[in-house]
Amino acid sequence: MSLTVVGSVAFDALETPFGKREKVLGGAATHFGLSASFFTEVNAVGVVGGDFGEAEWDVFRRHHINTDDIEVVADGKTFFWSGRYDYDMNTAHTLDTQLNVFETFDPKLSERSRNAKLLFLANILPSLQLQVRQQCGNAGFVAMDTMNFWISSMKDAVIDTIKAVDCVIINDAEARQLTDEPNIHKAARALMDLGLRAVVIKRGEYGATLFTKNGYFAAPAYPLESVFDPTGAGDTFAGGFMGYLASHDSITDDVLRRACIYGSVMASFNVERFGTERVDALDYSEINQRFRDFKSMTHFDDIPFERVRAV
């Protein structure tokens, strides 16, 4: 099944304890689209400036991502973000944000994008997310992301959008902020009460947790000795998650659980190099091997049960 993503396409300047890049390809739609492209056909909807060159377009072409709905403002500049990470890779320190053409982004979806069976609403203005959702009436499963800025400044609009989708994929701090619940489990249940089919809470280096009406599932993060750059890891997770769902005719709890693992697999590759460098160079054998690694790490059915006895 096809999958449409609506979000930012950007340039990033990144600095971590392990290196520095002055200008790399980034943005939520970019990271998501590359990740999802290993599983399904992807339509990307976004906006870039005239400074977006052939080298950047080639990344999308290599992964057969449909870019017909990425608008080009010839006399404008592409969204730019600059950030620094210290040894605590869970926290990004923003050095500069230039919205540029993204400031007036008005998503324009072709018939192909509107008719995709799955839709992901990346982190953009909640009213735009809702507007896009209303255009995609044929979508069988819709997921969204948001951020603390929207939650603090227009919480009601965020909640209205959540009520129109099937799944939210957010981090633990955002879940707490949205629901005013300090406990992640209570926060997830409060979100489920808005009519969702699933809630995925990302927990950085601790993995991700899936909540559904009938179940709970925790996916660990892949144990990496070197994390170069976590920028875009959450969107890469969402791309693997939604891309895997799009490769199935029906979405059950079992499929959602495997999707969480594939999301974690893809995110683990993303952080191994800067920007899109690692995911752009991936091949299927690496993805399949890391999925097997995850299965090995979390499988214990064959271990004999040993009854606990009182000391």
Kindly state the average pLDDT of the residues 283-304.
86
Rounded to 5°, angle at Cα 259 from 258 and 265: 90
What is the bridge-based pairing of β-strands 167-171 and 198-202? Answer: parallel
- For 3-297, CATH number out of 1.20.1740.10, 3.40.1190.20, 3.40.50.2000, 3.40.50.150 equals 3.40.1190.20
pLDDT value at 13 more than 90: yes
Look at 26-40, 156-170, 220-234 and tell me which has the smallest mean pLDDT: 220-234
Over residues 233-259, mean pLDDT: 97
Helical (H) or strand (E) element with 56: helix 54-62
Give the alpha-carbon dihedral of 63, 66, 70, 72, to 10 degrees. Answer: 80
Residue 291: pLDDT band (50, 70, 90) is: very high
Distance from the Cα of residue 283 to its chain's centroid: 20
Domain boundaries, the chain: 3-297
Partnered with residue 92 across adjacent β-strands are 85
Residue 311 above 70 pLDDT?
no
Q: Which of 15-19, 101-105, 107-111, 307-311 has the lowest mean pLDDT?
A: 307-311
Pick the closest to residue 162 from 184, 148, 178, 149 (CA basis).
178
CB contact at 8 A, 79 and 8: yes
CA 199 – CA 3 distance, rounded (Å): 19
Task: Give the pLDDT band (50/70/90) at residue 195.
Answer: very high
The model's pLDDT over 114-132, given as tens digits with 9 standing for 90+, comes to 999 999 999 999 999 999 9
